[in-house]
Amino acid sequence: MSSRTSAGVAGLLLVSCLSLSVLTLHQIEQAREHIILQEALYIPTPKIVKALSLGYTGLMADLYWTRVVQYFGGKHHQGAEEYKLLAPLLDITTTLDPHLLVAYEYGSIFLSQKPPEGAGDPAAAAALVQKGIRENPKAWRLWYCLGYIYFDELHDSKLASEAFLEGSKVPGALPWMKIMAAALAQHAGEAETARYLWTQIYNSSDNPDIRANAIKRLVALRVDAEVERLQAVVDRYQRETGGVPQRFLQLVQAGYLPGLPVDPAGNPYLLVDGRVQVARPAALPFITKGLPPGQKPSLIVTPKSGRS
Amino acid sequence: MVAIETFKLAKSYQVGFWRQRRREALCPLTLAVEQGEVFGYLGPNGAGKTTTLKLLMGLIHPTSGSAAILGCPLTDPRMKAQIGFCPEQPYFYDHLSARELLVYLAALSGVPAADRQRRAEAVLRRVGIAEHAGLQLRKFSKGMLQRVGIAQAIIHEPKVIFLDEPMSGLDPIGRREVRDLIQTLKDEGKTIFFSTHILSDAETLCDRVAVLNHGQLRGIGVVADLVREVSGRVEVIWEGAAASDAIIGLAAEMHSSGAIFRAVLPEPMLERAVDSIRRSGCRLISLTPVRATLEDFFLQRLEREVETGSTVVSGEGAS
Amino acid sequence: MIGRIRVIAFNTFREAVRDRVLYNLVVFAVLMVCGALVLGRISLRIERLVLVNLGLTAIALFGIVIAIFLGIGLVSKEIERRTLYTVLAARPVRRWEFIVGKQLGLMATLVVNAGLMSVGFFAALLYLQHRFQAADGFLLVALYFIILEFVIITSLALMFSTFTSPLLSTIFTFSLFLIGTFAEDLRAFGALAGGFTRALTTGLAYLLPNFAVFNVVSEVAHSVPVPGRLILFNSLYALLYATAVTSAAVLIFDRRNLK
């Protein structure tokens, strides 16, 4: 065999074997699919992973983060109902690099959303974010994540509001943190807190839109208080007279009220089947009481529409 | 048949950081070596001798030109089985013994399994290190390694043997043994091509020599023809200072040691010198013709060409 | 031709063995013994797990280190020390026969090394479990895969040593080993980016050797069976990739001027 032919054979082998190896690799990946999914059994503890990193914890954290994304994406794509490995993987990632904020932010979203969108474990998500807050006191965005989880998935407006409030105290936090805190407090029925916060916001902002918004909020709080007070009077009338009043006029004539009540928008309050109601809800965004039956209170008003 | 022939065989390297300059390691070389010859390849260090050998051995690829050994191209494995090569300052596998190495290399050369051990022993005896056959090569001295190098070059009974500085690292006894070995190999009809810068070895052994300098062939032919250029001289030794003044004018050089004087004169001056010695009453001790040596050839030719940049001198057999 | 390759392979093996490479087995044996003894104190449930993880990982890592260090010395050391002259110059050995012979000899060394380590490993396992289970059969698969990894690594080390110095060969081979181990993460990194980066990383992830596919240590530690398809394809992949790399080595070595 001359050197020419041996070179030719070698070149041919090189190209053909390399191409075939790529194809084979592709096949291998498919064969490995279900092995990878069975990994649920043996995620090592964060401490072990940290020890094995030999100091290169930052790199390992990045590596694990990409695995989180890959795992989540793969499962999501399949419409999975269970995301068993998500919390442990995130735990490892954040133990390796406690300052990897993106892991807390996105990780908590992956964890809290209901399946098949996410793992459906808001408690774990909250725990993760709280860990992040402990390690990164200056990261006010994490308070936002926490507040979001409390509100959206755990339906606890009070805790949500507190989270936003704490976050708003962090230097560098954007103003709307306070707004969110106030809005949520109002939603949770914490009228005093809300009133205080909205007043704060009104006083501390130069932005006309924010101020106008704060006024609307304060007005809504006033309406809520008024509706509550009026309702108490109506209930008392009902108890004492035994009849359901049809009009506020009856209450005025009976001496329960000094005059016909009017809401801040200038419309008289209505009495419908013994229930106090505002005449035009559209004129009073953000109220939570006195709404017609079936209408939900709005938390955020989209600009220019005034509608909830 | 021609054992070795080259046709404008050349090798140049690109040097410099950007590889823009060319260094001519070997300028186009054309020569032929007959079978059965002992051919010496001479030149100062850096002349290109080892480059030529590596080209012939296929270790490096020529930039241009071609060569053939035993009529076959340099890459032909069948031809390779019939040649032997001992590199300069050979080095071997640390952990093998001399015997194991020879058996291994014999196997690679195609020696049948049954013969390998026997031949290894025989060739070790031949180069004079039979008693170290079982010793690991890393414990060998330079001279011993040289002998092993020669041993592996001949173990498979090649027809053509290439030796790069075969005498290097050997003491005078060793060098004599190698010279004898080369002579024996020649008697066996083998062709020997060896490079050296020890001219006296080349003079005694070689049928023909080629002289290389700065990558160029400077002379090729029978030694006698080459040195004929340099005229003959005579060495005169006498006792007695009286003649010295007369001879000093004639002599190329003169030395004295006590009352003994030694002078080297051109041959034509011989008679007048002898007359001077007799007339002054000194005692003539010896008269010896100083044969011109290759060294003279070297010094004269190569020095002169450095001065004048002169051309190739060729004797018999050049093409 | 076969004869010469066999001779070269055997000589390579002999050199490696006499170079006292097998001393690493002593270290391994000590490791195994200590591991087994220490583990005897912990609960029965996970000690097998840890021993299997420890043992297989050690066999893999030791073997790979040896593969790299022996492999790079194979050619570059021979070129540096010019032992190659006597083998190649005046002998009917073709350059490709030399490369293939070296590859086979080195692989033989590693297989023997891994084999002896496996004996030690199984001995430690036996000491711990007092008998063999059916699930231990999977360990042989893991070992086989580790040997497949060796095949690829030696071919890489050999290829690099045909044209660079021992130091650079070591660095390159080790780098490829690292990249190949994290090949899937490499692809994941690229998938997070887009466009050109993604195409580049995907291309690299396919062309560079993928060692992650051979790592079934966690699986066999948990007695999860390895599918037959995977065994088949992995064998094929190792064979194809190593052949490709060895062909490259032959091409490079053929053209090389041996100073």
C interface mutation test: which of A2, A35, A54, A76 has the most C CBs within 10 A? Answer: A35
Question: Which residue segments constitute the domains of chain B, with CATH numbers given?
Answer: 2-222 (3.40.50.300), 233-290 (3.30.70)
**pLDDT at residue B306 tops 60:** no
**Residue with the two structure tokens 């041993």:** B151
Chain mean position to CA B314: 18
Mapping DSSP onto H, E and C, the string for C58-92 reads HHHHHHHHHHHHHHHHHHHHHHHHCHHHHHHCCCC
Q: Whole-angstrom Cα distance, residue C171 to residue A54?
A: 19
Which pLDDT belongs to residue B305? 58
Which pLDDT belongs to residue B118? 92
**C254 at the A interface (CB within 8 A)?**
yes
Residue among B197, B179, B204 at smallest CA distance from B298: B197
Where does chain A show beta strands of DSSP type E?
270-272, 275-277
Q: Whole-angstrom Cα distance, residue A119 to residue C54?
A: 33
Instruction: Tell me which chain B residues have a C-beta less than 8 angstroms from the C-beta of C8.
Output: 108
pLDDT digits (tens, 9 = 90+) for A102-157: 889 888 888 888 777 788 888 889 999 999 999 988 888 888 888 888 887 787 88
What is the arithmetic mean of pLDDT over C171-189?
Answer: 85
Decide: A222 and A264 in contact? Cβ < 8 Å: yes
Which pLDDT belongs to residue C41? 65
At residue C178, the 3 state secondary structure works out as helix
Most confidently predicted of A1-10, A35-44, A68-77, B92-101: B92-101
Contact C90 B80 (CB under 8 A): yes
**pLDDT at residue C48 tops 80:** no
Q: Which chains touch C (3 or more CB pairs under 8 A)?
A: A, B
Which pLDDT belongs to residue A129? 92
Question: What strands lie across the sheet with B38-42, from one edge to the other?
Answer: B83-86, B160-164, B191-196, B38-42, B208-213, B216-222, B313-314
pLDDT digits (tens, 9 = 90+) for B157-168: 999 999 998 887
Q: Which chains touch A (3 or more CB pairs under 8 A)?
A: C
Contact B107 C88 (CB under 8 A): no
pLDDT digits (tens, 9 = 90+) for B117-159: 999 999 999 888 888 888 888 888 888 888 899 999 999 999 9
Chain mean position to CA A293: 27
Instruction: Tell me which chain C residues have a C-beta less than 8 angstroms from the C-beta of A67.
Output: 185, 188
Closest-CA distance, C245 to chain B, in angstroms, reads: 23
Closest-CA distance, A9 to chain C, in angstroms, reads: 8
Decide: B111 and B123 in contact? Cβ < 8 Å: no
Instruction: Tell me which chain A residues have a C-beta less than 8 angstroms from the C-beta of C213.
Output: 25, 28-29, 32
A interface mutation test: which of C223, C241, C246 has the most A CBs within 10 A? Answer: C241
Decide: C208 and C175 in contact? Cβ < 8 Å: no
**C227 at the A interface (CB within 8 A)?**
yes
Instruction: Tell me which chain C residues have a C-beta less than 8 angstroms from the C-beta of B93.
Output: 11, 15, 83
Strands B233-239 and B260-266: antiparallel
Question: What strands lie across the sheet with B253-257, from one edge to the other?
Answer: B253-257, B260-266, B233-239, B283-290
CA dist list (Å): A120 to A107, A108, A115, B84:
12, 10, 5, 79
Residue C56: burial class (beta carbons within 10 Å; 0-12, 13-18, 19+): buried
Which pLDDT belongs to residue C14? 87
Q: Whole-angstrom Cα distance, residue C54 to residue C117?
A: 12
Q: Provide the pLDDT confidence category of residue A188 given band limits of 50, 70 and 90.
A: confident
B61, B87, B109: residue with CB nearest C91? B109
Which pLDDT belongs to residue B272? 84
Contact C243 A66 (CB under 8 A): no
**pLDDT at residue B218 tops 60:** yes
Output A13 or A51, whichever has higher pLDDT: A13
Residue among C112, C129, C144 at smallest CA distance from C235: C144
**A66 at the C interface (CB within 8 A)?**
yes
Whether this model's pTM surpasses 0.80: no
Which pLDDT belongs to residue B293? 67
Q: Provide the pLDDT confidence category of residue B294 given band limits of 50, 70 and 90.
A: low
Contact C189 A66 (CB under 8 A): yes
Q: Provide the pLDDT confidence category of residue B292 given band limits of 50, 70 and 90.
A: low
Where does chain B show beta strands of DSSP type E?
2-15, 21-34, 38-42, 64-69, 72-73, 83-86, 160-164, 191-196, 208-213, 216-222, 233-239, 253-257, 260-266, 283-290, 313-314
pLDDT digits (tens, 9 = 90+) for C21-36: 667 777 777 777 777 6
Q: Provide the pLDDT confidence category of residue C128 given band limits of 50, 70 and 90.
A: confident
Which pLDDT belongs to residue A72? 82
Contact C8 B108 (CB under 8 A): yes
C82, C92, C257: residue with CB nearest B91? C82
Decide: B207 and B179 in contact? Cβ < 8 Å: no
A32, A42, A66: residue with CB nearest C185? A66
**C45 at the A interface (CB within 8 A)?**
no
B60, B90, B158: residue with CB nearest C257? B60
**A305 at the C interface (CB within 8 A)?**
no
pLDDT digits (tens, 9 = 90+) for B36-50: 999 999 888 778 888
CA dist list (Å): B46 to A25, A61, B217, C63:
53, 58, 13, 44
Which pLDDT belongs to residue B196? 85
* Token reading at B255: 């030395």
Closest-CA distance, C121 to chain B, in angstroms, reads: 30
> What residue segments make up the domains of chain A, in order of their start?
44-155, 206-308
pLDDT digits (tens, 9 = 90+) for A212-227: 888 888 898 899 889 9
Q: Whole-angstrom Cα distance, residue B157 to residue B213?
A: 32
Question: What strands lie across the sheet with B2-15, from one edge to the other?
Answer: B21-34, B2-15, B64-69, B72-73
Paired with B34 in beta bridges are B2
Which residues does C189 contact at the CB level (< 8 Å), separation at least 6?
Answer: A66, C201
What is the arithmetic mean of pLDDT over C9-17?
Answer: 86
Which pLDDT belongs to residue A43? 66
**pLDDT at residue C66 tops 50:** yes
Which pLDDT belongs to residue A59? 79
Strands B216-222 and B313-314: parallel
Q: Whole-angstrom Cα distance, residue A214 to residue B67?
A: 98
Q: What is the mean pLDDT of chain C?
A: 83
* Token reading at B199: 């001219």
Which pLDDT belongs to residue A112? 85
**A174 at the C interface (CB within 8 A)?**
no
Which pLDDT belongs to residue A15? 92
Q: Whole-angstrom Cα distance, residue B202 to residue C78?
A: 31
pLDDT digits (tens, 9 = 90+) for A224-250: 889 989 889 888 888 888 888 888 888
Instruction: Tell me which chain B residues have a C-beta less than 8 angstroms from the C-beta of C21.
Output: none
Q: Whole-angstrom Cα distance, residue C257 to residue C259?
A: 6
**C96 at the A interface (CB within 8 A)?**
yes
